[in-house]
Structure 1
Amino acid sequence: MAIGDVQAVEDTTDVHYVDTGMYGTAEYGSVYIIDGERPAVVDSGTGGDYDAIADALAELGIDSLDAVVLTHVHLDHAGGAGRLLSDHPDAQAYIHERGARHLLDPERLVAGTKDAVGEQWSYYADPVPAPAERVVRLADGDEVDLGDHTLVAHEAPGHAPHQHVFHDPGEGIVYTGDAAGLYIPAVDTIRETSPPPQFDLDQARRDVSTIVDLEPETLAFAHFGPRAFDAEKLSGYKRTLVEWVEAVRQKRAALGDDEVVIEHFVDHADESAGADVWGEEKAEAEMRLNVRGVLAYLDQQE
């Protein structure tokens, strides 16, 4: 799939996804578009990839959105939300109650993101603050009524405490956010995601179990694209998380310097499947972010 391409999600009536070209990389960032009674998008990209989303809406003939549904407030998922609200005055943003304040005033989130992603900030755009009256705060079990679709929010705080996965039982889809890892369709692999500062291994594994218990037909990964539900593959991802954290733990014990640990894993990023698909720049940036997240998690455990 190429940057800017729009495809239907198989076995659905009106759900599509667009490759936003996030970080200048194909098959890394996807935004889902529900072309139903109340048109909606699920997640909103970095803001720097906004044109791809706008073009996809135009291609599908959607002139007005009713809902911008955000799995969590990290800026690769929520960075374009304020601009979507500005361009679609009938739309409301739906977000975890713990993340809503960052949509209203993104200053702290921007600072944290710049610190986390470093030079990759060049792929972002400064987020547009959302009007308070157009932000709907969601708790576990709350529903987003889209007329012919209903999205049910389920807590999934292992990646970030302000994350929900959204279940559309009518379509058999779970929009996973980052709770099920990073799916690489070219090699049918799920990679770990463990960003700082609030990654929690045990909770992340429980989040996968939450998705499995919903028994969907389709997993709609934000990174990247839809895949048929496979409980065995998700169980494998839980093992991947444990092995990943243990690898960082052991390397920290051996090297004794966190910056050296980070550089060790970055130096070996080209050996991962991600480098073959995403390219060296993105693979190394992803590795740096994930190692830092595990190191922060280990500090919390100590």
Structure 2
Amino acid sequence: MNVPDLKAVEAATERIRGAIRRTPLTYAALGGTRIGIKWENRQEGGAFKLRGASNRLLAMTEEERARGVVAFSSGNHARGVAIAARRLGMRAAIVMPADAPGVKIEATRAEGAEIILYDRMTESREEIGARLAKERGATLVPSFDDPYIIAGQGTVGLELLEQAEEPVKRIIACCGGGGLSGGIALACPQAEILIVEPEGWDDMARSLEVGTPQSVGDNPPPTICDAIQTFRPAEATVAILRDAGATAVQVGDAAVRQAVKWAREECGETVEPGGSAALAALLSGVVSPREGDVAIVSGGNVDPALHAQLIA
């Protein structure tokens, strides 16, 4: 298990400088409490994933770049890898679930990536990706189980510390495999880390309880949070969040819908369901807002028709 550290996050910050946008941190009152909101939906590609993807691909040798990359993702990591690969003139093949939002599939294809669709409930994206990478001699770029990916996502944390107008005491972030929250935990060791998962998709919460990676329960329920539907986190992300003393909560679809609508009406922001999970926890009362809180809005890639329905 290769676990990055704060120095790796600092190195990532320098490596990807100029390859990503510095996204805004604004403040809003929730229940009378002033909290910070970091808008990663404003990142190029619509999500924080470009940070980790850029860090991973920029760290590759010229020989590795010539052989291309294979990735697997429900959409945001896919697009991040596709953008980073296009910039470097690399071939990219992305394994995506057939039920991923069409807007994410088409946006990834538009960046020049090859798309391979699979059934997320009956097939393993990890197995498909590993097989393709071996057949093609390409480098496999997982969405969270990679030290360069984790370190790249951690640059969100270093950036928000620079932007904050007051001490950051707690950071609330959505969690799928834990790349974002794990990276932020490395970057912000002085802050409490609270992760938010969809109801029924609590693999990280289960993992933190026992200290090792655990899978979701049998027959997890449907969720509109497609971006953070993971069946099992990585050893590295579990270890980082465990050592940071991170805690976990879950939110349902109703709370997520409320958060997507609030972001639009109160802040003028377009946010995808999974990307609004931290806001959903705060707005619904699952998490009580506290002074020094910063919530991460992690993505804005949502089908226009679905978004219109959610904010209606």
TM beyond 0.5: no
Q: TM-score, normalised to structure 1's length? A: 0.40
Q: Which has the higher contact order (CA 8 A, sep 6+)?
A: 2
TM-score calculated relative to the size of structure 2: 0.39
